Structures are given as structure tokens and as C-alpha cells.
Amino acid sequence: MSLEEYKGVFTFAQQVDHKLEGVAFELIGKGKELAKDLGTEVTAVLIGSGIKDLADQLAEYGADHVIVVDDPKLENYRTEPYAQALAGVINEFKPEIVLVGATAIGRDLGPTVSARVKTGLTADCTQLDIGNFPLEPKEGVTQKPNQLLMTRPAFGGNTIATIACPDNRPQMATVRPGVMIKLDPVKGAKADIIEFKPDLTENNKYVEIVEVIKEAKKTADIMDAKILVSGGRGVGSPENFKILDDLAEAIGGTVSCSRAVVDAGWKPKDLQVGQTGKTVRPNVYFAIGISGAIQHTAGMEESDIIIAINKDESAPIFDVADYGIVGDLNKIVPALTEAIKAAVKE
């Protein structure tokens, strides 16, 4: 089969406990753009047990088609039956692009499936485009049009690389949650639904789930926040985060933090913004006492407005901030909170 016969953009619609993850919608949003450039359509692949009814949500967020693989073996995520399901879909429907969220599940499923269908996989992409490979014409090399160009950070966010997969199909990428933008849902939109039954024969690769221990989410998801008040080591102590809590409350925001704060044990890991934490793009991001190592900025530089407060005027955070204030956060932050409270009252 020639490479040109592979058609369509497929997105993995990750659900856990019958709830679709935000990245499932983000991938459809990006997939629509790529599909438009390629003159093709977006198919969401929904895998689980008793999950058919979720297909309508995927349609509302833009999926043209939904392939449903519904089987009791797929109740809880396990690498093998999920890999059988997704690889089965790829082998049957031959998509040219497959996008998977770079979640704890996607970063496990992606490598196994890509090896099984003998293609390349680019991890943790932050940008996807359609273009030529090589980018510029090169003597002795046939330049191929309509390739998926996958851009990702490497070396802890110190470098970025753009990668193509010109000679294998599908072109596969895992995509960082929070980076792509979901479309506004269209209520009542319907997709063409295809129920597919891949071979899910149990084999030596089926692991036994002895126990599932669910952990209640203690904190608001910083990826959903419109305003983030983020603190770094410069805040000084876990107690002093109180002034950030107060600011967040006054402005209707959520507190997040840098890696240094998590490493010091001041805040839990799920509040961490950055390369090894979460990627966020709120409307307003306050970076307070954060020096702004690339590790951190890689996770927040797409925020609409970045306001940085730091006493060190050479701190790299000022290189990405829209508004940088050199000064003492202990004086500025409480006064700002009061000013906002006063303004809100009016």
C-alpha cells in the first residue's frame, strides 16, 4: 500500500471512568486545522467499556467521525488491550496522522502502538503544522509536500526540534495537554459513528490489575484556570504563600508554583507549571518570585498576559513577561490585593 493511500487525521479520545479528558477535545481542535490543510477529516477514536454515549461530546467538539471500540476488557487502562485496540484501528482504517495526548496513559500507549504498526512517534509535541520535508529544497532529496511537522522541546526545554516522518504511515505524535486549543462546542452536532471490534485476544502481555487506588483531587486543576497566581522560591516560605492565596482570592484566580517550590516540599506536584509539570495558558499569569528558568517558561509562555514580580532585575522571567516589575514581592503583592479588592467593590 502506498503512503498516499493513508487518509485522515485520527485522534485518541482518552477517557477515564467514563469521562473524556480535556486533551481529547484539544486534539480534535488541532486535528481540524491539520485536516483542513490536507483536505481530509477528523476521526476521534474512543476506547473503553460502556462508553458509546461519549461519542456525541466528541462530535460537539468537532469530530467528523467517531470510531468506538467498546469492550469489557477495556474497563481500566492497561497497555495491552488498549494497544490491541488502537493498533487494530490503525491497521483497519489506515490514517495518515494519529495524535495521542502526552498524558500518563498516552505516553505509555503511544510507544507501544507505534512500534506495533512500525512507524515513528514524536513525543510531547507543542506545535503541529503541515508543510514540506525537507523544509527547504535540497539537492538530491525529493521534497515531499503535506507532511506533518512536529515540534517539541528537548533537553529539559533548552532546545526545540521539528521532526517529520516522511516515509512511514501513520505519522504519530503525542501532544502535550493544555497546548492546543479546543473548539467551541456546537450543541447537538452529530458525527458518523463506527463501531469497531478489533481482536482483543488475551495474551502474555495482559497484566493483572490487583487493585485500583483512586486519589481524590485535592486541588483545582491549574490547567483550567483563567488567572494563575504562581509563586517561586522567591516567595521565601510555605507560610508566605498566604499573600499569593489572598491575591488569587481577590482576583478570582488559582495558585500554582514552580518546580523549586515542589522540590522544597512547599506545594504538591499537581500545582507545578513547567516542562516537568503542567503546561498552562491562562488569560493572566502572575509570576511572583519565579526566576524563570527555561524549565518553567516552557510551561507558561503561551499565557495571554504575563506579569512578573521579582527583585532580581536580571531574572530571565523578565525575558518572557509582558509586564515586568522589579521590586519586593512582600510589599507589592499585599498592596496589589488591597487595590484589587477596592476596585472590585466599586
Partner 1 sequence: MKIVVCIKQVPDTKNGVVFNPDGTLNRGAMDKVMNPDDKAGLEVALQIKEKTGAEITVVSMGIPDADTVIREAFAMGADKGVLITDRVLGGADTWATSSTIAAGIRNLDYDLIITGRQAIDGDTAQVGPQIAEHLGIPVISYAANVEVEGDYVKVDRQYDDRMHKLKVKMPCLVTALSETTTPRYMTPGGIFDAYDEKEVTVWGRADLKDLDDANIGLAGSPTKIAKASDKVRKGAGEKVNLDPTASVSYIMDKLTEKHVI
List of residues 6+ apart from 143 with CB closer than 8 A? 132, 133, 134, 137
Residue type, 193: I
Residues in the interface with partner 1 (CB under 8 A) total 89
Check residue 153 for interaction with partner 1 (CB under 8 A).
yes
CB of 64 to partner 1, least distance (A): 27
Distance separating alpha carbons of residues 115 and 168, to the nearest angstrom? 12
Q: Which CB, 86 or 191, lies closer to partner 1?
A: 86
Residues 3-42 that bind partner 1 (CB under 8 A): 16
Binding mask 192-221 for partner 1 (x = CB under 8 A): ------------xxxxxxxxxxxxxx----
CB of 289 to partner 1, least distance (A): 14
Q: Which CB, 32 or 259, lies closer to partner 1?
A: 259
Residues 64-93 that bind partner 1 (CB under 8 A): 76-77, 79-80
Check residue 328 for interaction with partner 1 (CB under 8 A).
yes
CB of 13 to partner 1, least distance (A): 16
- CA–centroid distance for 227 within its chain: 18
Check residue 149 for interaction with partner 1 (CB under 8 A).
yes
Distance separating alpha carbons of residues 211 and 230, to the nearest angstrom? 36
Find the binder of partner 1 among 3, 161, 181, 186 (CB under 8 A).
161
Q: Which CB, 64 or 119, lies closer to partner 1?
A: 119
Give the containing element (helix H, strand E) for 43.
strand 42-48
| Angle of helix 242-251 versus helix 329-345 axis, rounded to 10 | 20
Q: Which CB, 59 or 243, lies closer to partner 1?
A: 243
Backbone angles phi, psi at 208, to 5 degrees: -95, 130
Check residue 139 for interaction with partner 1 (CB under 8 A).
no
Residues 245-304 that bind partner 1 (CB under 8 A): 251, 283-284, 294, 297-298, 301
Work out the number of other CB atoms within 10 angstroms of the CB of residue 344: 10
3-state secondary structure of 343: helix
List of residues 6+ apart from 274 with CB closer than 8 A? 157, 258, 259, 295, 296, 297, 298, 299, 300
Q: Which CB, 207 or 237, lies closer to partner 1?
A: 207
Find the binder of partner 1 among 127, 146, 168, 240 (CB under 8 A).
168
List of residues 6+ apart from 249 with CB closer than 8 A? none
CB of 323 to partner 1, least distance (A): 5
| Angle of CA points 26, 279, 47, to nearest 5° | 40
Find the binder of partner 1 among 35, 121, 179, 200 (CB under 8 A).
121
Residues 220-239 that bind partner 1 (CB under 8 A): 227
3-state secondary structure of 205: coil
Find the binder of partner 1 among 105, 200, 228, 273 (CB under 8 A).
105
Backbone angles phi, psi at 11, to 5 degrees: -125, 140
Whether the CB-CB separation of 39 and 122 falls below 8 Å is answered with no
Q: Which CB, 191 or 336, lies closer to partner 1?
A: 336
| Angle of helix 106-116 versus helix 79-93 axis, rounded to 10 | 50
Check residue 345 for interaction with partner 1 (CB under 8 A).
no
Question: Stretches 4-12, 29-37, 157-165, 189-197: which one binds partner 1 (CB under 8 A)?
Answer: 157-165
Find the binder of partner 1 among 107, 182, 233, 281 (CB under 8 A).
107
List of residues 6+ apart from 37 with CB closer than 8 A? 130, 146
Q: Which CB, 203 or 237, lies closer to partner 1?
A: 203
